[in-house]
Structure 1
Amino acid sequence: MIPDALLALIRKFEGLRLKPYLCPAGVPTIGYGHTGPDVRINMPPISEPTAEAMMQQDAATFHRAAGKLSPRLWLEGDNKHAAIADFCFNLGTTRYKSSTLKRRVDAGDWQGAAEELQKWVWGGGKKLPGLVARRKAESTLIVNP
């Protein structure tokens, strides 16, 4: 089951856009931050129920992926797992896989993990307020289960 905390993070920080757009990284995106080969910049708008279904599927995918990469998350409760799954949703599992953040999570160093999250706030060479807020929300879930 997908933790409510994960869905809340995605809804809050991705926002809902029914028309396709290019995210800051230049990737075609729709709904609640949904990307992939099914998203084209010239596709017609989607409905809110379709966006919700896409988000549920994406959230489940990244929840499982985070747990596979850091199995201890399955034992640590929904909030910690949701925080790392949201990080993976936002930045991808490849970045998480090779990160110091993952090493902290795997060691159970939650304060260290919260500190590592604060380093992932840059986009296009700029510190982005939206990423600062998102990492703060994830950190809060990690240190205040």
Structure 2
Amino acid sequence: MSEPRLSTGAKGIALIKSFEGLRLEKYQDVVGKWTIGYGHLILPEESFPAPIPEAQADALLRQDLGISEKAVNQYVIVALTQNQFDALVSFTFNLGVGNLKNSTLLKVLNARQYQDAAEQFLRWDKAGGKQVAGLTRRRSAERALFISQP
């Protein structure tokens, strides 16, 4: 599919921004990768020698969300509400397309087991095999958005 069917709505963008945080100067993330804005991984051909304006951080986020949106539109074969889509984009943005594609969350969702899919978010709160409070909060927020009425 060349164009996504849905794109991230205001609630999804607000959720992602709240968890990613905004850094207008480049920094190294927890694994040492250079990052700027709302979690934008700086590509080898990109250079950010000075702080960027918030509008540029928003543009980078929108660009980066396109990858997650495309994956959700491609791999989810059941109908989604805007809130469900936004929650899945946040999940994918944080964990990567491969984790969405191979997840039990996707399998049960595509089997139309929406409530079971919602519970699957909570299983993705570990890094290095250990539960991380920030990930627990993020997965709980994504689950809450997923099950909320539009």
Does 2:30 align with 1:24? yes
Amino acid in structure 1 at the alignment position of 2:125? V
> Which of the residues 72, 83, 87 maps onto 1:83?
87
1:47-86 equivalences in 2 (<5 Å): 47-72=53-78, 75-86=79-90
CA distance in 2 between counterparts of 1:127 and 1:40 reads 33
User: Which amino acid in the other structure matches residue 49 of structure 1?
Assistant: A
Moved more, 84-93 or 43-52: 43-52
1:123 is matched with which residue?
127
- Bigger shift: residues 47-56 or 59-68: 59-68
Q: Secondary structure at the match of 1:37?
A: coil
Normalization by structure 1: what TM-score? 0.87
Q: Which whole-Å deviations, capped at 9, do the CAs of 1:92-113 have from their partners, x for residues lacking one? A: 0011111111101211212211
Q: In 2, Cα distance between the equivalents of 1:40 and 1:9? A: 26
**Partners of 1:119 and 1:87 in 2: how far apart?**
12
Unaligned runs of 5+ in 1: none
1:26 Cα deviation after fit: 2.9
User: Which whole-Å CA distance do the structure 2 matches of 1:43 and 1:89 have between them?
Assistant: 25
- The alignment-based identity, stated in percent, is 36
- Distance in 1 (CA, whole Å) between partners of 2:87 and 2:67 is 14
Question: For structure 2, which runs of at least 5 residues remain unmatched after alignment?
Answer: 1-6
CA distance in 2, matches of 1:71, 1:27: 33
Question: Post-superposition shift, 1:83?
Answer: 0.6
SS of corresponding position for 1:51: helix
What is the CA–CA distance in structure 1 between the aligned matches of 2:124 and 2:82, rounded to whole Å?
Answer: 22
CA contact (8 A) 1:28 1:40 kept: no
Give RMSD over aligned pairs.
2.0
Matched positions, count: 143
- Written as runs of structure 1 = structure 2, the 5 A alignment for 1:7-22 is 7-22=13-28
The letter for the 1-side match of 2:135 is: L
